């Protein structure tokens, strides 16, 4: 992709109302544009990152056995009246009346709709266990939307819903999602700690938030340091394996500020392992039994032939929020530092003298070879000064910078810079390409 033909509206200064680092950098790097309070247009660079995060989330859901579908953004109010949540949900719900006076709502979540889909098609326990998920835009009319995509009104969310014959099977499904979330956040380059949480308006009696530690996090969290140091659990989703992972993680202390118990923290955690930090919620999982299946009559015939209400859970990941969380956890004074897995491009090739035929030819050669080897390349072929090109490359956070100029070319070398560490080396173009594709 030639930068001269790309749409990348960067800013030298962030707007004064951008209060946190991720919001500032997303605006400065040309990832988003605010259209209304808490509502953003996703510009090309931001959309590339969003799609990569979405794909990782999708892959880990499918590995855990979930099946993707897509539900609409608008829902019938009558479905929510069946569950009893329509009047109870509160002013965060955007309520709409169409031309035929039908009452609709812009979905903040999908428990009712997925239960309606399930009850319409599944009649026997032999179809269980079942986990259905989608990645769809949601709307919650926050009273005070702020912090950019971290607390917006419109957001992209992955929500999954499990259906099981009884509580024991439902808890296995819950544990599978618990493990899938740990794998997902690890692939995104994040250290996420599961913490026991309040169930809120979703309901139920078992819930965990997944909190990413970041100095600029929105709330204070307390946990055993060993939780942060644990590696991703891997993809063994056998019932015993996921139970072991769940037991190991939940045996250690982890609590948000609202749930924190000082005495328990000190009794349960060795002094050297007590960690107090700031955190950002990026995922939330719930087991709520028959909260929705009972009032909505979602039943299946059990092994004994008798109808039984299915046990359900729901599992959310804030896909668009994750983009902000990654920036909060990974940035410096120069700008964003994207993990390789979600970076909008793998490498930016910087042409230091666009009007030099030899330099341009070398850049074109490098771009062609890298793209042929499967790399996403941004080619800065603009006539901007070198300092401006370097500043832009740092700001947008592409993991590698390959710089080609007349002096280096005369000496047979190019400069390769790793954005995360700032390390620079001078090597031949062939060696640089080999390193980038190793």
pLDDT band at residue 380 using 50, 70 and 90 as cut-offs: very high
Kindly write down the DSSP assignment for every residue of 364-425, as one continuous string.
HHHHHHHHHTT--EEEE-S---HHHHHHHHHHHT-SEEEEE-HHHHHTT-EEEEETTT--EE
Rounded distance, CA 167 to CA 150, Å? 34
The proportion of the chain whose per-residue pLDDT surpasses 70, expressed as a percent, equals 98
CA dist 199 → 147, 202, 203, 207, 288 (Å): 24, 6, 5, 6, 9
Q: What is the pLDDT of residue 40?
A: 97
Is residue 205 predicted with pLDDT exceeding 80?
no
Other CB atoms within 10 Å distance of the CB of residue 121: 7
Rounded distance, CA 180 to CA 84, Å? 31
CA dist 165 → 64, 168, 239, 373 (Å): 18, 8, 15, 48
> Whole-number mean pLDDT of the chain?
95
* Model pLDDT for residues 87-116, shown as the tens digit of each residue: 999 899 999 999 999 999 999 999 999 999
CA dist 22 → 149, 279, 298, 353 (Å): 8, 14, 42, 32
The answer to whether the beta carbons of residues 159 and 109 sit under 8 Å apart is yes
Rounded distance, CA 81 to CA 46, Å? 37
| Cis amide leading into 129 (omega within 30) | yes
- Sort strands 299-301 and 307-309 into parallel, antiparallel or unpaired: antiparallel
Length of the chain: 438
Is residue 282 predicted with pLDDT exceeding 80?
yes
Closest CA to 23 of 352, 327, 284: 327
Rounded distance, CA 288 to CA 180, Å? 19
**Six token digits for residue 100:** 């035929």
For residue 335, count CB atoms less than 10 angstroms from its CB and return exposed for 0-12, middle for 13-18, buried for 19 or more.
buried
Is residue 66 predicted with pLDDT exceeding 90?
yes
Q: What is the pLDDT of residue 340?
A: 97
Rounded distance, CA 405 to CA 160, Å? 50
Residues 6+ apart with CB under 8 A from 101: none
Is residue 183 predicted with pLDDT exceeding 80?
yes
Q: What is the pLDDT of residue 215?
A: 81
**How many Cα atoms sit within 13 Å of 18 on the Cβ side?**
18
pTM above 0.75, yes or no: yes
**Six token digits for residue 426:** 């001078």
Q: What is the dihedral of CA 169, 234, 60, 156, to 10 degrees?
A: 100
Rounded distance, CA 110 to CA 135, Å? 11
**Six token digits for residue 345:** 């491009």
Say which DSSP state 213 is in.
E
What is Dmax (Cα atoms) for the chain?
Answer: 82
pLDDT band at residue 204 using 50, 70 and 90 as cut-offs: low
pLDDT band at residue 218 using 50, 70 and 90 as cut-offs: confident
* Model pLDDT for residues 241-254, shown as the tens digit of each residue: 999 999 999 999 99
Question: Ramachandran region of residue 357, left (φ > 0), alpha (ψ -120 to 50) or beta?
Answer: alpha
Q: What is the dihedral of CA 61, 38, 51, 33, to 10 degrees?
A: -170
Mean pLDDT for the stretch of residues 372-396? 97
Q: What is the pLDDT of residue 196?
A: 86
Sign (positive or negative) of CA dihedral 67, 68, 70, 71 = positive
Q: What is the pLDDT of residue 258?
A: 86
Q: Which domains does the chain possess?
A: 3-336 (3.30.930.10), 347-436 (3.40.50.800)
Q: Taking the mean position of all CA atoms in its chain, how far away is CA 313?
A: 20
39-44's contacts with Cβ under 8 Å and 24+ in sequence apart are: 39/152, 39/153, 39/154, 40/148, 40/149, 40/152, 40/154, 43/7, 43/8, 43/9, 44/6, 44/7, 44/8
Mean pLDDT for the stretch of residues 19-31? 95
Is residue 203 predicted with pLDDT exceeding 80?
no
């Amino acid at each position: 992709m030639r930068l001269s033909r790309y749409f990348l509206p960067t800013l030298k200064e962030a707007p004064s109302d951008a209060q946190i680092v991720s919001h500032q950098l997303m605006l400065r790097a040309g990832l988003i544009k605010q259209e209304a309070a808490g509502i953003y247009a996703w510009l090309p660079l931001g959309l590339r990152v969003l799609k990569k995060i979405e794909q990782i989330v999708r892959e880990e859901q499918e590995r855990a056995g979930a099946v993707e579908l897509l539900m609409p953004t608008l829902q019938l109010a009558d479905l929510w009246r069946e569950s009893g949540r329509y009047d109870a949900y509160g002013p965060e719900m955007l309520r709409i009346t169409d031309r035929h006076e039908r009452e609709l709502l812009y979905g903040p979540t999908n428990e009712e709709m997925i239960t309606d889909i399930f009850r319409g098609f599944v009649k026997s326990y032999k179809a269980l266990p079942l986990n259905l998920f989608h990645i769809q835009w949601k709307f919650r009319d926050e009273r005070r939307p702020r912090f950019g995509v971290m607390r917006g009104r419109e957001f992209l969310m992955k929500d999954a819903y499990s259906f099981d014959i009884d509580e024991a099977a439902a808890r296995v499904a819950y544990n599978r999602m618990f493990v899938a979330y740990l794998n997902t956040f690890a692939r995104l380059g994040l250290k996420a700690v599961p913490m026991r949480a309040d169930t809120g308006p979703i309901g139920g009696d078992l819930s965990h938030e997944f909190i990413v530690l970041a100095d600029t996090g929105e709330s204070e969290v307390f946990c055993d340091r060993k939780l942060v140091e644990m590696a991703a659990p891997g993809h063994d989703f056998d019932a015993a394996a996921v139970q072991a992972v769940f037991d190991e993680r939940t045996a250690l202390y982890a609590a948000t500020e609202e749930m924190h118990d000082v005495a328990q923290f000190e009794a349960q955690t060795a002094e050297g392992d007590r960690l107090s930090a700031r955190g950002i919620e990026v995922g939330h999982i719930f087991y709520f039994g028959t909260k929705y299946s009972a009032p909505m009559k979602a039943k299946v015939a059990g092994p004994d032939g008798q109808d039984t209400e299915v046990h359900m859970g729901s599992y959310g990941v804030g896909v668009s929020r994750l983009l902000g969380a990654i920036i909060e956890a990974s940035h410096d004074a120069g700008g964003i530092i994207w993990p390789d897995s979600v970076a909008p491009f793998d490498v930016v090739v910087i042409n230091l003298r666009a009007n030099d035929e030899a330099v341009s030819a070398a850049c074109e050669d490098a771009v062609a070879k890298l793209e042929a080897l499967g790399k996403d390349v941004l080619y800065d072929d603009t006539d901007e000064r070198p300092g401006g090109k370097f500043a832009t490359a740092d700001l947008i956070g592409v993991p590698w910078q390959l710089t080609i100029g007349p002096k280096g070319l005369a000496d047979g070398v190019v400069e390769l810079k790793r954005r995360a560490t700032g390390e620079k080396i001078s090597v031949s173009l062939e060696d640089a390409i080999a390193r980038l594709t190793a």
